[in-house]
Amino acid sequence: MPTAALSYCQIMIGRAMTGAIGLQELMEALCQEGAVPDAPGLGRRLVEEFGKHNYVPESAARVYEEALLREYRGYLEARRSGKGDRVWRDPRKELSPWYPTLFEGKCDGCGACVPVCPRQVLGWNPEKTKALVLEPYECAAGCQLCAKACTRQAIVMPPMAVLQRRVDPRPPGGFGSGCTGSCDQCAQGGET
């Protein structure tokens, strides 16, 4: 399948949001064949398949493996529960840097931060010993519930001033001829 015809989303890999081409199709294929997340070698296979359409630095293969296994577990859980596909609330959210930064070295795994988040921004590492920021773009602007719940001060939010900055989704040079900037593509920074 040509890369242009594949799905696109962003997932948390390590500490960075990373673009993922074809992840939905990969998850669907694994599900159709009945792959279970704890099957031996599945993590390696996920990285290999993911790497067919995405760059995976060799030195980060283990981090990608953990992230892709986490995403596959989440995908299977969503299917079991009937939630359906993950949908971000606002596709322009990547332009607004409001999300928590979690310092793993300070996190003692108490878990006070995870249940207070109304948008499931936080989750657990595979061992459930440390909290992780899994869905940063789901964080509600101005929300600080997780940071306030963390007694170890392992979670830091951006300064409130970032919410005052204007986000202009128009591409440099303006919109194309006859375009009003109101279509979905322009709202996301492209031209029609």
If asked whether residues 142 and 184 sit together in one domain, one would say no
Q: Which among 130, 127, 120 is positioned nearest to 150, based on CA atoms?
A: 130
Which has the higher per-residue pLDDT, 133 or 93?
133
The upper half-sphere exposure of residue 134, i.e. CA atoms within 13 Å in the direction of its Cβ, equals 22
* Mean pLDDT of the 54-71 span: 94
Which has the higher per-residue pLDDT, 23 or 17?
23
pLDDT tens for residues 63-94? 999 999 999 998 998 888 887 766 655 666 76
> 81, 112, 128 — which closes off a domain?
81
Host domain of residue 59: 3-81
Show the DSSP H helices in 19-128 as ranges.
23-32, 42-50, 61-81, 113-116
pLDDT tens for residues 88-97? 556 667 677 7
> 41, 61, 81 — which closes off a domain?
81
Measure CA of the first residue to CA of the last residue in the chain; give whole Å: 24
